[in-house]
Amino acid sequence: MSQPPRIVITGLGLTAPNGNSLKEFRANLLAGKARIAEIEVRHMGRQPAGVCDFDATKWQKRKEIRNGTRAGSISIYCAREALADAGLDWEKVNKARVGVYLGITEHGNVETENEIFNISQFGNDTKYWTHHHNPRTVANNPAGEVTMNMGITGPHYTIGAACAAGNAGLIQAAQMLQLGEVDLAFAGGISESIHTFGIFAGFKNQGALGSHTDPNQASRPFDKNRNGIVISEGGAIYVLERLDDALARGAKIIAEIAGWCINSDATDAVLPNPERQTQCVQMALERAKLRPQDINIVSTHATATAQGDIQECIALRNVFQHCPQTYINNTKSFIGHCMGAAGALELAGNLPSFEDNWVHPTINISELDPECALPGLVVNQPQQVPEVKTILNNSFGMLGINSALIVKKYEVA
């Protein structure tokens, strides 16, 4: 079997609770600036949450915003910003050869909860249920809104992969490019989860909802006193192309997709399985033709739950215990858990390391949990390192879905 074509990242657009561009996001990650708000959650009162403040009207008409979904607006903002970053002459791009592949943790809960509340104001009479409900809640909605906004006529769909979804979107796009299904892909992950009370209540009753008197300290993976997840919204969408196409148009190449793996625990709906996580990372390394000691940054998934962080640390020790040049960090300590966007955003914040050789830290650690004291963990302060050439991005999700994606600095082979 011949070698599949190499896939590269040539554009990136994002919105995170602490930044609406990669430049702003990265600056805050290096400066140790978290940005978690407190919002009023229906039926639950004030809760810490990561809120994005991008200007949706930059790329959408007000009617589009009204009729669409928050997930759609996040997606459109990120995709449009990615397009601008990629430097493509959009008028000349064959839109039928463009695909949109967006990872989501869930979709439709926000709109369904809103409509249930709406008709409760009218005696639960369903004649007051909006006719916008179905187009808003179909699972392809966020990707479909992107195609309508941008005139893309190639394939679009979402990839439901719980909190592994951001990686899954990128992996799907790489596969479709390698298969020749499309010539250009917009891919990544998005989430509007903070607008549904159900996800807050679910985590609360699972004993996994984070809290702190200072919202900016509520998300504290690896800290001994961590007490759960801070729910956030956000998105990160990348432009992906085959390397040859990118070179032919003289594109700026941000990174190369080196390898990946998605596997399943097949054990428990919520409790992670470090054995399967280990296998997932090892398989990604094998496919990337890299050894553990070749990885410079491991961007962890850790969400600040009591057990989940420890499980991931077991897996990482299994693979990286003898890798003194491997540095480990976490982005959720700054922005909370962006669910379907988490993997894509967490990778994005690390990509500038290829240029500046800084590793952003994991913050909010007052007392490091001994069970999470990984060698190479970058704690509270950024660390300058000799060189960053590879990043391993972990994203795991409920029902035991694990994903590991490796990207590398582009070098002419």
Q: How far is the CB of 190 from other proteins (least distance, A)?
A: 23
Q: How many C-beta neighbours within 10 Å does residue 342 have?
A: 32
Report d(CA 104, CA 139) in Å as an integer.
9
- Is 322 catalytic? The answer is no
* Residue placing its CB nearer to other proteins in the complex, 133 or 287: 133
* Residue placing its CB nearer to other proteins in the complex, 115 or 309: 115
Q: How far is the CB of 56 from other proteins (least distance, A)?
A: 13
Q: How many C-beta neighbours within 10 Å does residue 381 have?
A: 10
Residue 126 binds other proteins, judged by CB under 8 A: no
> In this structure, what is the dihedral angle of CA atoms 196, 198, 200, 206, given to the nearest 10 degrees?
-160
Question: Could you tell me if 340 and 103 are in contact, meaning their C-beta atoms sit under 8 angstroms apart?
Answer: yes
Q: How far is the CB of 66 from other proteins (least distance, A)?
A: 7
Q: Indicate which single residue of 40, 66, 91, 324 sits in contact with other proteins (rule: CB under 8 A).
A: 66
Residues in the chain: 413
Question: Could you tell me if 296 and 387 are in contact, meaning their C-beta atoms sit under 8 angstroms apart?
Answer: yes
- Is 156 catalytic? The answer is no
CA 364 distance to own-chain centroid: 20
* Residue placing its CB nearer to other proteins in the complex, 57 or 384: 57
Q: Indicate which single residue of 116, 122, 248, 268 sits in contact with other proteins (rule: CB under 8 A).
A: 122
Q: What is the DSSP string of 243-311?
A: HHHHHHTT----EEEEEEEEEE--S-SSS--HHHHHHHHHHHHHHHT--GGG--EEE----S-HHHHHH
Q: Given 337, 338, 360, 372, which residue is catalytic?
A: 337
Task: Choose the binding region for other proteins from 36-44, 61-69, 96-104, 148-156 (rule: CB under 8 A).
Answer: 61-69
Q: How far is the CB of 132 from other proteins (least distance, A)?
A: 7
Q: How many C-beta neighbours within 10 Å does residue 23 have?
A: 10
| Phi, psi for 59 (deg, rounded to 5) | -125, 0
Is beta strand 7-15 parallel, antiparallel or unpaired with respect to 383-384?
unpaired
- Is 301 catalytic? The answer is yes
- The helix or strand, by DSSP H or E, that contains position 312, with its residue range, turns out to be helix 306-320
Give the CA count within 13 Å in the CB-facing half-sphere of 169. 40
Task: Choose the binding region for other proteins from 59-67, 98-106, 160-168, 171-179 (rule: CB under 8 A).
Answer: 59-67
Q: Given 52, 107, 156, 163, which residue is catalytic?
A: 163
* Residue placing its CB nearer to other proteins in the complex, 92 or 127: 127
* Residue placing its CB nearer to other proteins in the complex, 45 or 122: 122
Q: How far is the CB of 76 from other proteins (least distance, A)?
A: 15
What track of x and - describes contact with other proteins for positions 14 through 53 (by CB under 8 A)? ----------------------------------------
* Residue placing its CB nearer to other proteins in the complex, 48 or 68: 68
Residue 132 binds other proteins, judged by CB under 8 A: yes
CA 174 distance to own-chain centroid: 16
Q: Indicate which single residue of 27, 32, 51, 67 sits in contact with other proteins (rule: CB under 8 A).
A: 67
Residue 131 binds other proteins, judged by CB under 8 A: yes
3-class state of residue 409 by DSSP? coil
**Site size toward other proteins, by CB under 8 A:** 11
Residue 322 binds other proteins, judged by CB under 8 A: no
Task: Choose the binding region for other proteins from 34-42, 60-68, 207-215, 310-318 (rule: CB under 8 A).
Answer: 60-68
Report d(CA 31, CA 98) in Å as an integer.
37
3-class state of residue 78 by DSSP? helix
Q: Given 107, 195, 301, 360, which residue is catalytic?
A: 301
**Which of 202, 271, 242, 200 lies closest to 48, judged by CA?**
200
Active site residues: 163, 301, 337
Site residues (vs other proteins, CB under 8 A):
61-63, 66-67, 122, 127-128, 130-132
